[in-house]
Amino acid sequence: MKYVDEFRDGDKARQIAELIQSEVRPDHQYRLMEFCGGHTHAIFRFGLVDLMPENIQFIHGPGCPVCVLPAGRIEAVIKLLENSDNLILCTYADLMRVPAGKRDSLHKAKARGADIRMIYSSTDALNIARNNPGQQVFFFAIGFETTTPPTAAAIKIAHHEKLKNFSVFCNHVETPPAMAHILSSGETQLDGILGPSHVSTIIGSHAYAECCKQYSTPFVIAGFEPLDILQSTLMLVRQINEGRFEVENQYCRAVKTDGNKKAQTLMSEIFEQRPLFEWRGLGELANSAIQIKNRFSDFDAEKRFAMEHIEVADIKGCICPAVLRGVSNPDECKLFGTVCTPEDPKGACMVSSEGACAAYYSYGRYRTEVEVVNS
Amino acid sequence: MCLAIPAKIESLDALASTAIVNLNNIRKEVSTLLLDEVTVGDYVLVHVGYALERIDPVEAARTLAMFDDMQALGDTE
């Protein structure tokens, strides 16, 4: 595939890795956070960890929307489904198996008879609403800035068509406040950040400038392919070695400084800042999420269905919150790979393919065992 | 969640703001509402049924050339 295969060349990957090896200072530890689950996944899938010198450590960030969604938001939806008989829930597949309260999930709610449709696009949710005028169609919207514009477009179209049976449960969150929170908490020492690829196509590389400056931390916007990640790592190593902290853009084939203005305009037409929103692992963060503007409140599921706020505790032993803050690694969790697996996940980070636990389980769980056998 | 796949635009419906893209020989209709200018032959990043951004062929070539430069540098060492 064009723009994919050429960024996965193994020989070139080894060459860039050699350059990194030759440029790192042996006396320095490089702690680099890849914010996105997409990066975590690629780092493990393509074995990039094994190409790195020992003093480069990838710290996994909270950039997995499914993982940071508090279980109470899913529980609230399940409650709503149980109390209504004409509701169709539309959701991206990622959310289906995320544990809600008491080991419940949307998947189990569907098995009990709830009308839940897995959709690929917000456009599908609109079509379901058009085709089922007698039923209420509830779109469970999640995602970072990458996924927000398609939700905004759906609301705008629904408003234009005066659809009476379509509403959106908005759980869209924003990346820069989460990054600022992690950098300001000081819980994890970080030397540099591999910045989001596709979030940045929308919000632009300049969105991180303040964060970079305030916390004197090097940023490189990195594409999701293995050569992109390796080149970005090299760019971070160079910034660190030279004592610079700037926002550099490795993914310039898709990311502009100002991002996608048309998408930004659409988002600001439909959404406004939400004063406070809870993130799993990070807690309640001010101005870190968005909500539907009053003008479009007819399409706001939270208002239409007066949805309640539910607190759900994570299951005992699950360290997802610490993994999401970059404080712990998945294999430090007692449940990892035994009680908690992708087939029967107990924590959200094991559900989504972008979750750090799922990446460790799928590609990394035999790494340490192999070392033992060989020694 | 933020996965977006490069796909080539094969045809456009300007009125409906949609395009048929080719994703590794799978054809799919996507929305072009988020983009100002797209033309047939452009590669776009497709995410949840929407074209998010055009892929800039010049910048892509430049990035690939940088990999080659790194390789050359690695070979001389």
Q: Does the distance separating the beta carbons of A19 and B74 come in below 8 Å?
A: yes
Whole-number pLDDT of residue B68:
86
Instruction: Read off the pLDDT of each residue in A224-247 and give the average, rounded to a whole number.
Output: 98
Q: For residues A11 and A179, give the distance between their C-alpha atoms in angstroms, rounded to a whole number.
A: 33
List CB contacts (< 8 A) between B3 and chain A: 38, 198, 224
B49 Cβ under 8 Å from any chain A Cβ: yes
In tens digits, chain B (77 residues) has pLDDT values of 788 999 999 999 999 999 999 998 999 999 999 999 899 999 999 999 999 999 999 999 999 999 988 766 655 54
Residue A366 lies in domain: 320-374
Q: What is the mean pLDDT of chain A?
A: 94
DSSP, collapsed to helix, strand or coil, labels residue A332 as helix
A164, A166, A170, A176: CA torsion to nearest 10: -100
Number of domains in chain A: 3
Pairing of strands B50-54, B43-47: antiparallel
Does residue A51 lie in a domain region?
yes
For chains A and B, count residue pairs whose Cβ atoms are closer than 8 Å.
140
The whole-model pTM stands at 0.95
- The C-alpha atoms of residue B77 and residue B74 are separated, in whole angstroms, by 5
Burial string for A35-49 (b: 16+ CB within 10 Å, else e) reads bbbbbbbbbbebebe
Position with higher pLDDT, A313 vs A234:
A234
Helices (H), chain B: 57-76
Question: Is the model's pLDDT at A375 over the cut of 60?
Answer: no
- Examine residue A150 and state whether it is found in any structural domain, yes or no: yes
Could you tell me if residue A75 is inside a domain? yes
The predicted model gives A157-169 an average pLDDT of 98
Query: How many angstroms separate the CA of residue B62 from the nearest CA in chain A?
Result: 9
Point out the least confidently predicted range of A266-280, A284-298, A352-366, B50-64.
A352-366
CA–CA–CA angle A112, A116, A118 (5° rounding)? 130
**CA A280, A283, A289, A292 torsion: positive or negative?**
positive
pLDDT 10s digits, A328-345: 999 999 999 999 999 899
- What whole-number distance in Å separates Cα of residue A25 and Cα of residue A188? 21
pLDDT digits (tens, 9 = 90+) for A95-154: 999 999 888 999 999 999 999 999 999 999 999 999 999 999 999 999 999 999 999 999
Task: Give the confidence band of A370 by pLDDT, cuts at 50, 70, 90.
Answer: low
The two structure tokens encoding residue A150: 């398609």
Select the residue of B6, B48, B64 nearest A1 (Cβ to Cβ): B6
d(CA A371, CA B13): 56
Q: Do A43 and A36 touch, CB atoms closer than 8 A?
A: no
Are A149 and A225 in the same domain?
Answer: no
Q: Does domain B5-76 have CATH number 3.40.50.1000?
A: no
